A = this chain, B = another copy of it.
Amino acid sequence: MTMVMLNQDESQSLREKKKIETRNKIFEVSGRLFKEKGFEKVTVDEITREVGIAKGTFFNYFPTKTALLVYFGKQKEELIYKLIKNETKRSIPTKDKIKNIMVLVAKSNEKDKELTKLFVFEYLRHYGYEERRSHSLNTILRELLEDGVKTGEVKNGIDVKRVAENLTAIYYYSLMEWLWSNSDYSFSEDISKKIDVLFDGIRS
């Protein structure tokens, strides 16, 4: 009976290396295949054949085929939040900050429209059933708005929670409109203008 849990520090064991490698290869291959043929047309058999693993192995890494889509979304999200972190540190007006962040996120989606189309629904659906995260767009926006209230840039007494939700809503809805529209207008420009409207209101 061995109970020692040797900490591997930064040097990974062979096992861990192989695991990460396999996981990455599944990602890589499936991403390429999905873009080529669409999600439904790609079978797990096909993915595992190309990766060079048995079918069962796939399910050691991802609980379902659609889980892949969720993980695509998560990976993208992580990239985005690294970008956002830098943006929040700058000393610029609250509105600009919010705008910059949302445009940043928008632009990162503009880069891989087809793949985003595939996973955006699964990603949203999945998060319906998951814990609310501290790193969500909604949370970040809310914190920025609270700062804005403190500095007097945003009306005092405003319902910050609801405003943040409105901004988040606008982001996701605009994303979908853009993903499925035929004309290829600029998503980030659209978002930017919509934020203007939200800040200024529409009542004459």
Binding site for B on A (CB under 8 A): 95, 121, 124-125, 128-129, 145, 152-156, 158-159, 162-163, 165-166, 168-170, 172-174, 176-177, 179-180, 190, 193-194, 197-204
Contact B199 A200 (CB under 8 A): no
In the bound complex, CA of A165 to CA of B179 (Å): 15
Instruction: Apart from A159-B197, A172-B173, list 10 A-B contacts with CB within 8 A.
Output: A121-B121, A121-B125, A129-B180, A162-B194, A162-B197, A165-B177, A166-B194, A169-B170, A169-B173, A199-B203
CB < 8 Å: which of B121, B172, B176, B202 contacts A155?
A: B202
A26 to chain B: closest CB distance in Å?
Answer: 24
CB contacts (< 8 Å) of A159 on chain B: these are 193, 197
Contact B202 A203 (CB under 8 A): no
Contact B174 A170 (CB under 8 A): no
**30 A-B pairs, CB-CB below 8 angstroms?**
A95-B203, A121-B121, A121-B124, A121-B125, A128-B176, A145-B202, A152-B204, A153-B204, A155-B201, A158-B202, A159-B197, A162-B193, A162-B194, A162-B197, A165-B170, A165-B173, A166-B166, A166-B169, A166-B170, A166-B173, A166-B197, A168-B173, A169-B170, A172-B173, A198-B202, A199-B201, A199-B202, A200-B201, A201-B202, A201-B203
CB contacts (< 8 Å) of A204 on chain B: these are 152-156
Chain B, residue nearest A162 (CB): B194
In the bound complex, CA of A202 to CA of B193 (Å): 15
Contact B162 A202 (CB under 8 A): no
CB < 8 Å: which of B153, B173, B193 contacts A203?
A: B153
CB contacts (< 8 Å) of A193 on chain B: these are 159, 162
User: 4 closest Cβ contacts across the A-B interface?
Assistant: A201-B201, A169-B173, A128-B180, A169-B169
In the bound complex, CA of A158 to CA of B193 (Å): 11
CB < 8 Å: which of B152, B168, B177, B198 contacts A198?
A: B198
